[in-house]
Homo-oligomer: A and B are copies of this chain.
Amino acid sequence: MMKVVFHLDVDEEKRLSMALGNISNLLKVVPAKNAAVSLVANGSAVRLFIRENASDSSSRIEALSGQGVRFFICNNSLTNFKIDPKALVKGCEITKAGILELIERQADGCAYVKP
């Protein structure tokens, strides 16, 4: 099983785009059933997942989500930026503390990649 967690913490569209491209490329060489791929967004990066901001990315996120990729959005950061979880792109999941999610996934054997 190939296990990896991607980390985004700044509100830069090109980094999200790079991460989504990385994940797509990965799933071309490793079958989705042999891959546990997730992305954790915290800090200002949570803004990238607001549905109305994510015009270009939202369909890519939904498609990857349909292939089993999990998108975790940090609830601490949503609170800081006063973002309603209901405003997020479909397929996103809320995690209480993004950093803890990153730590627990690595402890569980995931590689870490910071685009």
Contact = CB atoms under 8 A, between A and B. Distances in A.
Given A18-B43, A97-B25, A112 B115 contact: no
Interface in A13-44: 18, 22, 25-26, 28-30, 42-43
A76 interface: yes
A96 B29 contact: yes
Contacts of A43: 18, 115
Number of copies: 3
Contacts of A100: 2, 26, 29-30
Interface string A97-115: 1011011101101011111
Interface string A33-76: 00000000011000000000000000000000000000000001
B29 A103 contact: no
Residue of A9, A28, A96, A111 contacting most chain B CB atoms (<10 Å): A111
A99 B26 contact: yes
